[in-house]
Structure 1
Amino acid sequence: MNNLAVSTETLAREPSLSRQANDLARDLLRAEPRIYWTDLLLTAGVTYGALAVAIGARGWLALAAAAVAVLALYRAISFIHELTHLRPGEVPGFHTGWNLLIGVPFLTPSLLYEGVHMLHHAKDRYGTERDPEYMPLARMPATSLLGFLGIALLAPVGTVLRFAVLAPLGFLVPAVRRFSVAKASAMTINTKFSREDFDRASSPAWLAQEIGCWLWSWTLIGLTAVGVIPLRAVLIGAGVFAAMTFVNQVRTAVAHAWENDGSKMTFEGQFLDSVNVPPPGALPMLWAPVGLRYHALHHLLPRLPYHNMGEAHRRLVASGSATYRQAERRGLADAFARLLKSPVRG
């Protein structure tokens, strides 16, 4: 009998975990605009400052600054997850501000996540072939993890192709436009997934982001071609972006147990297939920022803002729920070890 089966038996003996979570965290669901804006502005400042130092410095200082830029950019990009769960007007101007500060400059606009991520939370989609963010890694050969992680390093190439090539070409050729929206406009890991919300691609918000990324990418290419922007600066920026996406892919690899066989799962089963990496470990603050260290908790309470996840976690632990604690991992090494040793691996 595997761990998931044991956990399901425990669930049958306990009150609904989702009900417990909602009761305990009912007063924590309100997002604080001041926290969101302060965090984003400080993180964006560190990102651009560290990137500037990495470009202008040499030796160990350049490497140290690049490392800081990777982690700061990763934190900044991670706010795209919060954007998808915030209700309209909950944090005024944050959607536009994030896209102007981070999304468009780094060719990762929120259109790539909005309209897609919420499908991952749909009860009838999670863990199935219709889930854009699920791949049964625990059921695949361990060597497949190398390909899963390595593909992330090609992200700079992919984003440039999407917005510098496919975006303008798509406005001229309808077939290219349909392909771009369906297969090249979503941050997913399920290669079988295709977007179907073509009406969204005609909305003012989508078009503003897409055209903004198109024009910005052409500006960067043009200024680099004529020597205004040094090639070294572009390569360092691309390297920082590639390293950031690699870190995110590592985090994604341990965000779930990835044990589902493609069938529909209960809400509690989805929780048990997800992972928390709570304190006392400090490193998850770097590789799973903006609340991502509480990924299983997030699947219990999708609308819980990141700044209240720590408190919600403490309350659930104090409640004595044995099931809730089963989603915990001690750290990155522990999470990877459990993935590699999964009882469902063939």
Structure 2
Amino acid sequence: MTFESKTIAPAETGFMLAGASARTAAPVRKAVKKSNDDKAMLKAAAQLTRDLNRPDARIFWADMLGSVLLGYLGLAATILVGPMALKLVFGAMATLALYRAGSFIHEISHIKRGDLPYFRLAWNALVGVPLFAPSFMYEGVHNQHHAKTKFGTIEDPEYLPLASMKPWSLPLFMLFGTLAPVLLLFRFAVLAPLSFFSRRLRRQVVEKYSGLQINPDFRRAWPEGEFARQFTYQEVGSVIWSWLLIGSVASGVVPLSAFVTFMVVACALMGLNQLRTLVAHLWENDERQPVSVTEQYLDSVNVPPPNLLSALWAPVGLRYHALHHLLPGVPYHNLGKAHARLSSELEAGSAYHRTTATGLWPLVANLARQTLKSR
């Protein structure tokens, strides 16, 4: 959902590159001149990964369906078991598994039409609609985050100068992301139905409240063609699901405690995703100007092995976030191979090695320090 705080100070991307601990690199704009891409890195990335661009349907389906099964079993156990300790254990399992299943929305936004037949439909039915985040909320939005002329600018839906914002902006950022399921339930149960009878409200709902974005100034384009049909089908499905859920609770068919548990798990997984987003970039492009491909890469972060926990808080390839910005067409299950090839091919002085971080909390602490400097 949109993040409404806009107190922007000088120096926008405050998530410094992490080496042995937390990275202490200069701001992205100073690291690489706009006219000076690391051509060796870009050439190697293109040449060494040509065979890695096709998604493996078996991996996608098995991973997504397995995550869904584990997530809903964990959710059911969380609702049904009595002891609080067991509720916490199963709740954590449900959160992590459904978070992984939900993260496939990112892959869906990059999948070429025809590569994975019916995957989008199945994902929306099993994950997107039930969790109030159908894929239309990301498709047509996320691609602008990768556009060379829009990354980091006011037209980028997924970029804010967090490093130069006030310290209190970070907790507020986390709060909005964590409460996203509540806001999205209201969007589908109330705003969407009302907007069908008001052109003015409909425009507001489509342009401002139909994207999983953090930039409050971003306005999505009106859907057209086949995507407009997908938009409508998914939105209507989400409206119906929202009404059924609320009606079932109001009528007593679904216990209030079960609904609250479901919403807590949904908020927990969205909060985890917001925490991952917090450290996905350096957020230092305070001038909101277009940058080079290398600068875009250096503003992003990889947390690869040997860090194993990153596979939990940045699943489905998201721990290779910088590499994904370099190679957005490579599916998540091949990013590890691409990383290994580039790491061994490129010398130590290459820009490629400067985006590697060792863990989550050093990155959070570093971003917090950056905001304190902007006071």
Please say whether Structure 1 and Structure 2 have the same fold, judged by a TM-score greater than 0.5.
yes
8 Å Cα contact 2:181/2:270 also seen in 1: no
Residue 39 of structure 2 is aligned with which of 15, 23, 26? 15
8 Å Cα contact 2:165/2:371 also seen in 1: no
Report the counterpart of residue 338 of structure 1 in structure 2. Answer: 366
Find the aligned partners of 2:137 and 2:36 in 1 and give their Cα distance.
Answer: 38
Find the aligned partners of 2:64 and 2:49 in 1 and give their Cα distance.
Answer: 24
Secondary structure at the aligned position of 2:150 is classed as coil
8 Å Cα contact 1:115/1:197 also seen in 2: no
Deviation (angstroms), 1:296: 0.2
Find the aligned partners of 2:108 and 2:43 in 1 and give their Cα distance.
Answer: 25
What amino acid sits opposite 2:150 in the alignment? R
What amino acid sits opposite 1:276 in the alignment? N
Report the counterpart of residue 299 of structure 1 in structure 2. Answer: 325
Q: Which runs of 5+ in 2 are unaligned?
A: 1-24
What amino acid sits opposite 1:54 in the alignment? T
Which is bigger in relative contact order (C-alpha 8 A, separation at least 6)?
Answer: 2
Find the aligned partners of 2:101 and 2:115 in 1 and give their Cα distance.
Answer: 19
Find the aligned partners of 1:257 and 1:55 in 2 and give their Cα distance.
Answer: 39
Report the counterpart of residue 242 of structure 2 in structure 1. Answer: 217
Report the counterpart of residue 87 of structure 1 in structure 2. Answer: 112
Report the counterpart of residue 201 of structure 2 in structure 1. Answer: 176
Change (3 A) 1:282 1:227: same
8 Å Cα contact 2:105/2:138 also seen in 1: yes
> What does the per-residue CA deviation read over 1:172-216, in whole Å, with 9 as the maximum and x for residues that have no partner?
111111111011100000011111224369822111111111011
Deviation (angstroms), 1:62: 1.1
Deviation (angstroms), 1:263: 1.3
Deviation (angstroms), 1:343: 9.8
> What does the per-residue CA deviation read over 1:208-253, in whole Å, with 9 as the maximum and x for residues that have no partner?
1111110111011111111000000000000001111110010000
Deviation (angstroms), 1:342: 4.2
Report the counterpart of residue 24 of structure 1 in structure 2. Answer: 48
> What does the per-residue CA deviation read over 1:95-117, in whole Å, with 9 as the maximum and x for residues that have no partner?
11101111111111001001000
Of 42-51 and 148-157, more deviation after overlay is shown by 148-157
What is the RMSD of the two structures over their aligned residues, measured on CA atoms?
2.0
> What does the per-residue CA deviation read over 1:234-291, in whole Å, with 9 as the maximum and x for residues that have no partner?
0000000111111001000000000112111111110000000011011001000000
Change (3 A) 1:73 1:200: farther
Deviation (angstroms), 1:336: 1.8
Find the aligned partners of 1:288 and 1:23 in 2 and give their Cα distance.
Answer: 27
TM-score by length of 1: 0.95
Find the aligned partners of 1:337 and 1:7 in 2 and give their Cα distance.
Answer: 21
Report the counterpart of residue 3 of structure 2 in structure 1. Answer: none
Report the counterpart of residue 54 of structure 1 in structure 2. Answer: 78
Alignment of 1:60-71 (within 5 A): 60-71=85-96
Report the counterpart of residue 288 of structure 1 in structure 2. Answer: 314
8 Å Cα contact 2:196/2:202 also seen in 1: yes
Deviation (angstroms), 1:338: 3.0
What amino acid sits opposite 2:47 in the alignment? D
Find the aligned partners of 1:54 and 1:206 in 2 and give their Cα distance.
Answer: 33
8 Å Cα contact 2:109/2:138 also seen in 1: yes
8 Å Cα contact 1:259/1:344 also seen in 2: no
Of 133-142 and 228-237, more deviation after overlay is shown by 133-142
Residue 125 of structure 1 is aligned with which of 142, 146, 150? 150
8 Å Cα contact 2:37/2:292 also seen in 1: no
> What does the per-residue CA deviation read over 1:47-79, in whole Å, with 9 as the maximum and x for residues that have no partner?
110000000012211111011111111101100
Secondary structure at the aligned position of 1:203 is classed as helix
Structure with the largest fraction of helix: 1
Report the counterpart of residue 233 of structure 2 in structure 1. Answer: 208
Residue 355 of structure 2 is aligned with which of 309, 327, 342? 327
